[in-house]
Structure 1
Amino acid sequence: MKTTETIIMITYLVFCIVLGLLSQRRISSSNQGIDDYYAAGRNIGTGMNSLAMLAALGSGGSFMAIVGTTWNLGLPFLAWMVVGSCVGFPIASILVAKPLRSSKKITVSEFINDRYQGSNFFKVAIPIIIIIGSSMYLMSQMKAGGLMTSYVTGLEYKWGLIIISFVFIFYVSMGGMLAVTWTNILQGFLLTILTIILVVGGIINLPISWPEFLVNASNVNPSLGVAGATVPIAGYIGAFVTWATAVCVTPHLIMRVFTASNIRSAKLSLNISMLFFAVLMISTILVMVPYIPTLGEDILKNNPSDMWMLFIAEGFFGKILMGIIAAGVLAAVMSSTDALLLAISSSVAYDLYKGVFKPEANRSQILKVSLISTWVIGLFIMILTLNPPTFLIVLYTAAVGLMVSSFFGPVVLGIWWKRANNLGASIGLLSGSISFMILFLFFELPYNSEILISLPISLLSMLIVSSLSKRPSEEVISRLESYH
């Protein structure tokens, strides 16, 4: 066991649990419990929301696995993915930030239902897709959390996973979006500072000049910088498209728009997050990846590539700083995990339970169902993650691809095209989700390229069906205009 690192990590986890309990106390005494639980009271300022958005996007894949994944899948693949993520923030600020914040809704599902007059199909289909997609994404984050806990405690992966999963589930179920926001602000700050520390440590410890060091790494791994060497070009384009469109519709990211204090703050938060994310990711890749050949064959063969960055950092820092870095990497994992758990529980409790099965449900009933669903789904995903996926980044990008293929047309066309109607949006959502899952499960396509087929199918289906079917009512069009 790494005693110092373990103590620091436990201290951080206890702090997060205390935040969850404090949030629960505030929500219990609040007259606006639902807004506090799912939208953090809609009063998060620009700076704090920017850090929270950065933390929500910055996951175990982004800040822990990106170094090893770059080595295995190549710099061009990760470059397209990171650039797509950066492009996604300004696209979301232009296309959806103002209408979504103006709508005063709490979830993506609620917004779509309001835009298309509460279709029973949407009330059931949207939460199911969110639960499936977010669960796929959540598996990758729980794996990262299990690996990190195993790294610092010396326990087997399965016990590390169980311990950290219980912590995640507990504090999210207690405090909802308020707890998630408070911890995400801390996590965003930690991610920024610790990434800077890692990059500076890498620069200080360079054995030779950086250009020579990078060339040496390329000689050891000739496919590192060659486009198409590890992943076909279609995979690059698919990864770019997935993340360029993700911020517009992915529930755990777009929920941060609903928490913003106003429209201007929502837009600024998206763009500030983009700048920070770009700098952190690019600098981490360029500085840390060349160190991989220095780890030695034993470490590279006997440890998952998602952990290689930790072993590189061990060569730079002592136990105390490594403990802080471990807490920071865990913060990256937690920042996505908690938001995903909340997105899943809101789909079950708010969208399915209240929206379909019991519209008259009161605040306490909704929160109770949310708490139960957080535990049931969280534990179920934990069990699935006992046999983890190979690459964290590939799995969670596929999860995002499913949600984009399903929701991008209904949300974005629904905001900007008055002719979009219930039938067209239903066909668009159905065709996008089904085609993506068929391609993902039954066809041997390049990583993350399914969206290049499923998203056009969804958009074309919605455009054609909406154009040929009944125009939306004046009431719907008037509501749409009010969003702008």
Structure 2
Amino acid sequence: MKTTEFIIMILYIGFCIFLAFYTQRKISSSASGTDEYYVAGRRIGLAVNSIAILAALGSGGSFMAGIGTNFKLGLPTLAWMTVASICGFALASILVAKPLRNSGKYTVTEFLTERYNSRFIQVMVPIILIIGSGIYLMSQMKAGGLIASYITGLSYEWGLVIIALVFILYVSLGGMLAVTWTNVLQGALMILLILLIVIGGLVNAGQGPISFFASTTKEYEHLGKLGVALPLAAGIGAFVSWFTAPSVIPHLVMRVFTAKDVYSARLSMNIGMLIYGTLMFTSLIVILPFVPELGADTLKNTASDMWLLLIANKFFGPFIMGIITAGIMAAVMSTTDALLLACSASFAYDLYGKVINTKASQKQLLRAATISTWVIGILVMLITLKPHPFLIVLYTAAVGFMASGLFPPMVLGIWWKRANTIGASVSMVVGSVLFMILFLGFDMPYNTEILIALPVSMLTMLVVSSLTEKPSEETIAKMEQYHTGII
């Protein structure tokens, strides 16, 4: 066991659990407990929401697995993903942030259900979100299991079980209020993590970071050439996935619902994303050249998702490594808690409260949220015992699945008056089912399924809506109110 690192990690996790218990008491005693649990009272300001968005996006895949995945699969594809995320947040701030915030809703499902006035959509959207968020959640739990194993010396499986139970505990207690407060701490830790690793890399490089990076990419040709490690289509698919994802994936969209106003919602998305992009590119240039120095045996016998920790261990002693592992765990936890909360909201609020038991009290809704968090979290934990080899590929597939089913109904539903219930329903089914068939049934290059599923879903939405009955004037008027903010 790495004793110093273990103590620092326990202190950090203990503080997160303390916040969860504190916020649970606040929620229980509040007359607006559901509002506090799902959208943190809709009073989160610009600075806090920007850091929370950074924390929700900065996952175990990006901060922990990014270096190893880049080295194995090449820089172009992963660089496209980061650029696409930056562009995607700008797109979401223009296309969806204002109507979503003005709607006063808690979830993506609630918004789309009102837009299309459909019981089918009320059920279909949570199913898509639970499946997609569950796949995304697998990558985060794998990262948490690897870190716990690294610190404690236990097997990956035991590390996964321990850390997953911690994740589930504090999300089930505190909801979005706890998630927001811990996200601020987690965002700060992620920034500190990158700064420490970058400083360590600069000190140990022996030459300028740019020349060191250039010499490494020259020696390992697959790093800098498009289409060597992965085909061109994989890069395009990764770009499309992350360009469309911020407009629909629930753990990011939910941050829009928490913002105190439209201006804050829009600006915080862009600020959080710019900080994230800067951190990712800086750490990549400085740290990636150190990968070959780990040695051929280590690179062959150790999961690539662990390489960043092994590099950092060469730079620092136990105390700094404790801070770094806490920072990586913060990246994992910040995405995990948001995803668990999104899954919980999809089941407890959207399915249980709106379909199964429409007369549920606030207490019943919060109890359903707690139970669903535990059930979904444990199921995902069990599946993650046999994880995918690349965290980034796994969670990009998750966002591709959700975007294929939800991006056309969401964006066209906001901006195209002709979009109707039948078109949205068929589009959701076609996009999500086709993506899953391609992902599970065909041996396609990583992340290329969306290049077929999303265009087919979009075309289906356009054609079916054009050939069927127009939406009601009342529905169109409601969407116009969300655009203007006059409700």
CA distance in 1, matches of 2:426, 2:262: 31
What's 2:389 paired with?
390
How far apart, in 1, do the equivalents of 2:100 and 2:203 lie?
45
Are the aligned partners of 1:165 and 1:378 in contact in 2 as well (CA < 8 Å)?
A: yes
Aligned to 1:213: 212
Q: Is the 8 A contact 2:434 2:453 kept in 1?
A: yes
- 1:257-296 equivalence runs, <5 A: 257-296=256-295
* Displacement of 1:314: 1.1
Alpha-carbon shift at residue 217 of structure 1 (Å)? 2.2
Structure 1 position 302, deviation (Å): 2.4
State the Cα deviation string for residues 425-474 of structure 1 (Å, max 9, x = none): 11111111111111111111111011111111111101111111111111
- Deviation at 1:214? 2.2
Letter of the 1:263 partner, please give it.
V
Assess if the C-alpha contact under 8 Å between 1:142 and 1:382 holds in 2: yes
Q: What residue identity is the alignment partner of 1:112?
A: L
For the pair 1:82 / 2:82, whether they are aligned, the reply is yes
Contact persistence 2:53–2:273 (CA under 8 A): no
Who is 1:232 aligned against?
Answer: 231
* Residue aligning to 1:41: 41
Q: Secondary structure at the match of 1:200?
A: helix
Partner amino acid for 1:279?
A: T
Which residue pairs with 1:13 in the alignment? 13
C-alpha separation between the residues in 1 aligned to 2:80 and 2:92?
18
- Letter of the aligned partner of 1:384 in structure 2? I
Q: Structure 2: how far apart are the matches of 1:80 and 1:474?
A: 41
Q: What amino acid maps onto 2:435 in structure 1?
A: F
C-alpha RMSD of the superposition: 0.9
- Residues 278-287 or 190-199, more deviating: 190-199
Distance 1:292 1:216 in 2: 13
In the alignment, which residue of structure 2 is the partner of 1:408?
A: 407
- 1:199 Cα shift? 1.0
Taking the aligned partners of 2:288 and 2:240, their CA distance within structure 1 comes to 25
CA displacement at 1:219 relative to structure 2: 4.7
Quick one: distance in 2 between partners of 1:122 and 1:4? 50
Secondary structure at the aligned position of 1:223 is classed as helix
Q: Which runs of 5+ in 2 are unaligned?
A: none
Q: Give the aligned partner of residue 55 of structure 1.
A: 55
Does 2:441 correspond to 1:442? yes
CA distance in 2 between counterparts of 1:329 and 1:205 reads: 21
Could you tell me how far apart the structure 1 residues matched to 2:389 and 2:360 are? 42
Contact 1:12–1:327 (CA under 8 A) maintained in structure 2 = yes
Q: Do the aligned residues in 2 keep the contact of 1:127 with 1:352 (CA within 8 Å)? A: yes
SS of 2:351's equivalent? helix
Deviation of residue 163 (structure 1)? Answer: 0.6
User: In the alignment, what sits opposite 2:463?
Assistant: 464
Aligned to 2:367: 368
Distance 1:265 1:87 in 2: 18
Alignment partners' CA distance in 2, 1:75 and 1:244: 18
Query: What is the CA–CA distance in structure 1 between the aligned matches of 2:37 and 2:207, rounded to whole Å?
Result: 52
1:196 positional shift: 1.5
Tell me, in whole angstroms, the C-alpha distance in 2 between the residues paired with 1:62 and 1:210: 21
- The 4+ residue runs of structure 1 with deviation greater than 4 A are none
Provide the rounded CA distance (Å) in 1 between the counterparts of 2:124 and 2:28: 31
How far does residue 207 in structure 1 lie from its aligned partner after superposition? 2.1
| Separation (CA, whole Å) in 2 of partners of 1:278 and 1:210 | 18
Per-residue deviation at 1:220?
A: 4.5
Q: How does 1:233-248 map to 2 (within 5 A)?
A: 233-248=232-247
Q: What are the superposed Cα offsets for residues 201-248 of structure 1, whole Å, 9 maximum, x if unpaired?
A: 211211233344224423542211111001110110110011011100
